[in-house]
C-alpha cells in the first residue's frame, strides 16, 4: 500500500489546480503548495522555524501522524503557525473567565487546541491546561483535531489550516482574504498564508535531510514521481 492510499489522500485531486468557492487556485507540487500557478514559495531563509520544530518535536509528530494517518507536514506546519514551536504558548479568547468555567476559550500548548476541543476529540474529560502544555499531549490533541476534520478538508493543506483555525470551513468573501475561507484575524488571508509557507518549508527540509517519514506528503509525491 502506498503512502497516499494509507492516508486516504486523493493525491491526483490535490495536484490539480483547485480552490474554495471564489478563492485563488492552488495545487500541491513537489515543492509544496503553488498558488495561482506561481512556483511554491516558503518563508525564505534558512528554514529556522520548521527545522527547530522538527528537531525538537519530530518524533512526537511522526508518532501521532502515523496513529491518525495524517501527513506529518500538516502537523509541523500547524505547530509553526500556531505557536512557532513554543510549548508554553497560551491564548485566551474574548469571554474567558477561567479554565474550569470556560474551557472553550483557552488554548494551551504547541498546537493551541482549545481545552474543550481536546476533551471532545480525545474523549478525555480530564484534559486540562497542564496536560496540554506537555508537547506530546498537545501534538496528540492537535493531530486528532486534523483527523476529525478530514472529511471536510480531505487533508488539503490550505483547507486544513483554515478549518483548524476557524473550527470548520466557512466562506469569507472579504477582498483581502484570497483563500475565501474564514480565518483569524477575520477578513484577511494571513493565517493561511503563514501555514502554506511553513508547509512548503517542511517539504524543503525533507528535500535537504531525506528524513521524510512514510506518513508524509513528501513520500507520497516521491512515490507518485516514480509510479
CA torsion sign, 165 to 190 to 112 to 135?
Answer: positive
pTM: 0.98
The secondary element (H helix, E strand) that includes residue 119 is helix 115-122
pLDDT band at 226; cut points 50, 70, 90: confident
pLDDT for 199: 98
Question: How many Å apart are CA 24 and CA 137, to the nearest integer?
Answer: 35
In this structure, is residue 74 part of a structural domain? yes
Task: Examine the pLDDT at 50 and tell me if it is beyond 80.
Answer: yes
In this structure, is residue 172 part of a structural domain? yes
Question: How many angstroms separate the Cα of 196 from the Cα of each of 26, 115, 145, 199, 202?
Answer: 10, 26, 18, 5, 10
C-alpha cell at 67: 496513529
CA torsion sign, 112 to 118 to 124 to 127?
Answer: positive
Model confidence over 192-208: pLDDT tens digits?
999 999 999 999 999 99
More confident residue, 227 or 29: 29
Model confidence over 63-90: pLDDT tens digits?
999 999 999 999 999 999 999 999 999 9
Question: Which domain, by its residues, includes 41?
Answer: 3-89+134-226
Average pLDDT, the chain: 97
In this structure, is residue 196 part of a structural domain? yes
Sequence-separated (6 or more) residues with CB below 8 Å from residue 221: 11, 28, 29, 30
Question: How many angstroms separate the Cα of 164 from the Cα of each of 21, 48, 107, 136?
Answer: 18, 23, 12, 18
Number of H helices and number of E strands within the chain?
11, 4
Q: Domain total for the chain?
A: 1
In this structure, is residue 103 part of a structural domain? no
Residues 160, 179 contacting (CB under 8 angstroms): no
Cα–Cα–Cα angle for 197, 78, 198, rounded to 5 degrees? 15
In this structure, is residue 80 part of a structural domain? yes
C-alpha cell at 71: 501527513
Residues 24, 182 contacting (CB under 8 angstroms): no
CATH number of the domain at 218, please: 1.10.530
The Cβ of residue 215 has, within 10 Å, a number of other Cβ atoms equal to 24
In this structure, is residue 170 part of a structural domain? yes
Residues 206, 194 contacting (CB under 8 angstroms): no
Q: Among candidates 135, 137, 155, which has minimal Cα distance to 146?
A: 155
- The SS3 assignment for 139 reads helix
In this structure, is residue 188 part of a structural domain? yes
In this structure, is residue 96 part of a structural domain? no
Model confidence over 135-171: pLDDT tens digits?
999 999 999 999 999 999 999 999 999 999 999 999 9
The Cβ of residue 122 has, within 10 Å, a number of other Cβ atoms equal to 17
Amino acid at each position: 500500500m502506498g503512502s497516499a492510499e494509507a492516508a486516504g489522500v486523493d493525491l491526483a485531486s490535490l495536484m490539480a489546480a483547485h480552490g474554495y468557492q471564489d478563492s485563488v487556485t492552488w495545487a500541491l507540487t513537489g515543492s509544496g503548495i503553488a498558488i495561482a500557478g506561481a512556483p511554491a514559495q516558503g518563508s525564505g531563509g534558512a528554514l529556522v522555524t520548521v527545522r527547530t520544530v522538527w528537531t525538537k518535536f519530530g518524533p512526537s509528530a511522526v508518532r501521532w501522524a502515523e496513529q491518525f494517518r495524517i501527513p506529518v507536514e500538516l502537523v509541523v506546519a500547524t505547530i509553526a503557525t500556531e505557536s512557532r514551536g513554543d510549548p508554553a504558548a497560551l491564548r485566551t479568547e474574548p469571554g474567558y473567565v477561567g479554565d474550569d468555567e470556560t474551557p472553550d476559550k483557552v488554548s494551551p500548548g504547541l498546537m493551541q487546541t482549545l481545552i474543550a476541543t481536546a476533551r471532545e476529540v480525545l474523549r478525555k474529560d480530564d484534559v486540562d491546561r497542564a496536560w496540554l502544555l506537555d508537547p506530546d499531549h498537545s501534538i496528540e490533541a492537535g493531530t486528532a483535531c486534523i483527523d476529525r476534520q478530514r472529511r471536510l478538508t480531505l487533508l488539503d493543506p490550505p483547507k486544513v489550516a483554515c478549518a483548524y483555525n476557524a473550527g470548520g470551513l466557512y466562506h469569507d468573501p472579504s477582498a483581502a482574504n484570497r483563500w475565501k475561507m474564514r480565518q483569524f484575524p477575520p477578513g484577511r488571508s494571513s493565517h493561511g498564508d503563514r501555514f502554506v509557507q511553513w508547509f512548503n518549508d517542511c517539504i524543503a527540509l525533507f528535500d535537504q535531510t531525506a528524513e521524510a517519514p512514510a506518513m508524509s506528503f513528501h513520500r507520497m509525491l516521491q512515490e507518485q514521481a516514480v509510479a
